[in-house]
Amino acid sequence: MGKREEEKKPRRAADFYATIDPDAIVPKLVDHLRGKTYAEPCYGDGDLEDQLMEVAVCKWRSDVRETVGSSKVMDALEIKRQDLQNIDYIVTNPPYDWRLLKPLLDHLPTLKPTWLLLPADMMHNKRMGPYMKRCAWVLSVGRLYWMDNEIKGVDNYAWYRFHDFDYGYDTRFVGR
């Protein structure tokens, strides 16, 4: 039985899967973010900020729904460059549904260098080709859990750092 042969489960509303697995924060990501500031435009319940608290300072929080904490109720596509003054990066675990993700890939890197936690296999899809030309780093994470039962899923994940320009160099891959 292959990993995709199980019964297809319905997706959560707004494709919301909290970043609760501490394995999502890999050492190389910490190296890039240490002492920096960032915006979290897909804030959810703040789990990613909780995990990065010892490393970097979250100065902007927003989500499409009302959330725990002090985040703004705002679609990430409405964020403007002036909203993110004095912020070094955008760091988020976005929705993976292509209808939601593609506009984020088009918009967020125009504001600041953007770290996105995405399925590792995504870089191999044809539709990601133009985006991978703007990707400077891919940091391997491995399998993660998204439910409180702490059972790892069947997919591998990675942090991708995108820019608003064709990077002009080969993407740097960092394994586990």
Where exactly are the structural domains of the chain? 20-174
**In this predicted model, what pLDDT tens digit does every residue of 119-155 receive, in sequence order?**
999 999 999 999 999 999 999 999 998 888 888 989 9
Query: Taking Cα atoms as reference points, which of 74, 71, 73 lies closest to residue 50?
Result: 71
Query: Going by C-beta distance under 8 Å and a sequence separation of 6 or more, which residues neighbour residue 49?
Result: 40, 43, 58, 61, 69
Cα angle value 5/144/26 (rounded, 5°): 145
Give the alpha-carbon dihedral of 13, 64, 128, 173, to 10 degrees.
-100
For residue 20 the two structure tokens come to 């609760």
Torsion angles phi and psi, residue 23, rounded to 5? -70, -10
Radius of gyration of the chain (CA): 16
Query: Taking Cα atoms as reference points, which of 119, 83, 81 lies closest to residue 101?
Result: 119
Amino acid letter, 170? D
Fold entry, domain 20-174: Rossmann fold (3.40.50)
Residue 170: the pLDDT is 85
Query: Taking Cα atoms as reference points, which of 131, 139, 123, 130 lies closest to residue 172?
Result: 139
Cβ atoms of 94 and 103 closer than 8 Å: no
Residue 56: the pLDDT is 98
Is 64 in a helix, a strand, or coil? coil
Residue spans of the chain under pLDDT 70: 1-16, 68-70, 167
Residue 18: the pLDDT is 82
For residue 171 the two structure tokens come to 């993407």
